[in-house]
Amino acid sequence: TGGHTTEILRLLSCLSESYSPRHYVFADSDKMSEAKICSFEQKRAETFSKSQFTLDRIPRSREVRQSWTSSVVTTLYSILYSVPLTYKRKPDLILCNGPGTCVPVCISAFLLGLLRIKRTIIVYVESICRVETLSLSGKILYYFSDYFIVQWPDLKKKYPKSIYLGRVV
């Protein structure tokens, strides 16, 4: 909500028209991100007239301050909800940046790849605010992503699989 959406939209503003259609996935309770995405896409349509996008909602995998035990259950529910969505969309690329909502989507895409249904490239960009440690989403997706991008050199030292590109948002 909010910060993660702003970061991902900054990244998307640098992408060419060939990255279309774009399928946005966000938590069903996240109205702020939905509004930001619609505004971003309206502005993008002024430049790229053939730009296409969809909005998809999934159950929130973890609420702020939710207990770890109950978040396992809600995340499993979100994964089960995400599998048919990921199967329907069959994305070539997932670009995500940290909210808990991205974990179920990435895991469902990873599962579809394991089943040889659709291979999806997963690119995870750790938030600029993560200077010394990874977020919980980052700690999980470090093992599932094809490209794991960090924005601080200290994180590259701690996580050798990561790619340090400096500030990208």
Pick the CATH number of 2-164 from 3.90.1690, 1.20.120, 3.40.50, 2.40.128: 3.40.50
Q: What is the pTM of this model?
A: 0.91
Q: Is the peptide bond before 153 cis (omega within 30 degrees of 0)?
A: no
Other beta carbons within 10 angstroms of residue 67's beta carbon come to 10
Question: Residue 118 is which amino acid?
Answer: K
Give me the residue spans of the domains in the chain: 2-164
Q: Which phi and psi angles does 97 have, rounded to 5°? A: -140, 25
- Tens digits of pLDDT across the chain (169 residues): 568 898 999 999 998 888 999 999 999 988 899 999 999 999 999 988 888 999 999 998 877 677 778 888 889 999 999 999 999 999 999 999 977 889 999 999 999 999 999 999 999 999 888 888 999 899 999 999 999 999 999 999 999 999 999 888 7
In the numeric block, which tokens belong to residue 154?
Answer: 């200290």
111: buried, middle or exposed (CB in 10 Å: 19+, 13-18, 0-12)?
middle
